[in-house]
Amino acid sequence: MSRSDLTTEEEITTLVHRFYERVRADPVLGPVFDAHIHDWDTHLAIMVRFWSSLFLGSGTYSGTPMPKHIALPDLNAEMFRHWLALFHETTNELSNRAFAEEAEKFAHRIARSLWYGYQINNHPNRLPTELHHG
């Protein structure tokens, strides 16, 4: 489904760049990303394609986020909640409130699904927990 009436590639690019500026400056998440991302320009371009595929139906993203996150060592629920908190701070600054709300919803869904997948793959002998974000 195309949502091209909701936002633009420019707005998505702004959101992605501002969000990862926060992430990189963050004492908890910054080091995790910096340990795995060697070329930030490439990562930002991938993330713009990811969000553009979701929101503009651009079909420009063809990666597999789940195995990439499953492979990251020592992620926990707190980190996912923190990721969402930084994302929320970033969408809060957007004047396009309709897009901000939809982006928030998607981020929560994907974060929950990544966290479930992470737990089921990395801790198969424990019951998966919810994120319980506020």
Q: Which residues of the chain form contacts with ligand HEM (CB under 6 A)?
A: 29, 32-33, 36-37, 46, 50, 63, 65, 68-69, 72, 75, 79-80, 83, 107, 110-111, 114
Minimum CB separation of residue 75 from ligand HEM in Å reads 5
Cβ-closest position to ligand HEM? 63
- Decide whether 12 or 69 has the Cβ nearer to ligand HEM: 69
CA dihedral 28, 68, 42, 18 (to 10 degrees): -40
Q: Which amino acid is at 90?
A: T
- Decide whether 6 or 79 has the Cβ nearer to ligand HEM: 79
Minimum CB separation of residue 132 from ligand HEM in Å reads 15
- Decide whether 55 or 83 has the Cβ nearer to ligand HEM: 83
CB 29 within 8 A of CB 79: yes
- Decide whether 64 or 125 has the Cβ nearer to ligand HEM: 64
